[in-house]
Amino acid sequence: MTAFTHQFHPTSLREYDIRGIIGKTLSGKDAFAIGRCFGSIVAREGGKKVAVGYDGRLSSPELEEQLVAGLVACGLEVARIGCGPTPMLYFASYELKADGAVMVTGSHNPPDYNGFKMMLGKKPFFGPQIQQIGSMAASGDVVAEASGSSTQVDVSDAYVARLLQDYDGGDRKLKVVWDPGNGSGAEICKRLAEKLPGEHIVINGEIDGNFPNHHPDPTVLKNLEQIIAKVRETGADLGIAFDGDADRIGAVDGEGNMLFGDQLLVVLARDVLKQHPGGTIIADVKASQVLFDEVAKAGGTPLMWKTGHSLIKAKMAETKAPLAGEMSGHIFFADKWYGFDDAPYSAVRLLGIVARSSESLAQTRDALPKVINTPELRFDCPDERKFGVIQEVKARLASSGAKVQDVDGVRVLTEDGWWLLRASNTQAVLVARAEAKTEQGLENLKTLLAEQLEASGLAAPDFSGENAGH
């Protein structure tokens, strides 16, 4: 028998997951190697069972099959939950008492992408652990070949029942439009819609890996055009959208206005804090100052943390925060739930809040303090340069006496508002954002940001994109 070794494409091993383009940077051989290496890690820690799921992409069944073959070759018992949302796999790992879990998913990427998200025990598997998979494969550092087993397990009924258990909206019948975006959360979405009280309209409710109706990312306004139109046409109370693997949520109020991730978190945090007075609410550095102020106003302890779903989950466990969220629509409930990002669950909790409220979601959104901000600006910067730029900016700001929050890049507070510059963990880009109370204030912040970039020899990003009222 020949010894196992494998080389991954250098771009596929990311900070939070393994991801690539099918036929170019990711293949079935990669999937087998991931199974062999991740399975070896689980086995060496004394684990015996791994749960596996996959999304609705055309390439996912083959990748899942190869992944399972690699895990079985480590002597493990593999519970195959089939096609569904990523959070259903996370749920399965708890329900089935698995020692590890792997989801085959391209998340919200275009149709020709795919990838793998992993959990070891009950914790996210990321950062140096993902790099370890690469070095294990290259050196053939895996457990001796053994014959494990694989079984099909349907956890979907248990998952839907558990989601419904935390609906607390009473008997008020809301009218809701759902758009799972032809992603892997579509079937679960339809089953939820059938069982929740009220009138529910599901669009793009068939799982289709071609994503024929729109790109599956609900944080981009263009991708919400269909749901906005349907909410307005039907006079619905609100609309809820999922990304490609339903771990991120988008929301639209009854007037057809998009709620940004941080605005949604305000609504959810106010409710959670009634049961957890003084509780820590975590949001990433891209979130509006309005969120942190509103959490404090509601009696909570706001905590700004690094962007990245794995980093947020780890911080939640450390601080025992009941709720956390990101601008990207990842919402994490540890209040009554398991602390992982779950769009169907977040939807159930949101519907309960709206049903119990004396005001509409549109009224709640309208009452939030008004600020003006840029969209998230992403611009190319080589991987070997991006973190250095942040250090240079930080050093210059320190000598100028500026007020800086530096949990993830630099977030600079001024009388006008704040501007942010951080290095992406997953791409060769820098990310910038700015927020102010006035248009002139925003211009001032953009100027400060541009000056810092130019001082590090970089051109300022294109600020011509529409500023968002927020």
Q: Which residues are catalytic?
A: 107
- Rounded alpha-carbon distances, angstroms, from residue 457 to 126, 378, 446, 462: 32, 17, 17, 16
Beta strands, E only, 356-464: 372-373, 377-380, 403-405, 410-413, 417-423, 429-436
Amino acid (one-letter) located at 3: A
Paired with 78 in beta bridges are 50, 150
Contact 332, 325 (CB under 8 A): yes
Which helix (DSSP H) or strand (DSSP E) does residue 242 occupy? strand 238-242
Measured distance CA(443)–CA(460) in Å, rounded? 13
Specify burial of residue 23 (Cβ count, 10 A radius: 0-12, 13-18, 19+). exposed
Amino acid (one-letter) located at 96: L
- Rounded alpha-carbon distances, angstroms, from residue 255 to 116, 233, 241, 366: 37, 10, 16, 11
Measured distance CA(120)–CA(93) in Å, rounded? 10
Measured distance CA(47)–CA(274) in Å, rounded? 39
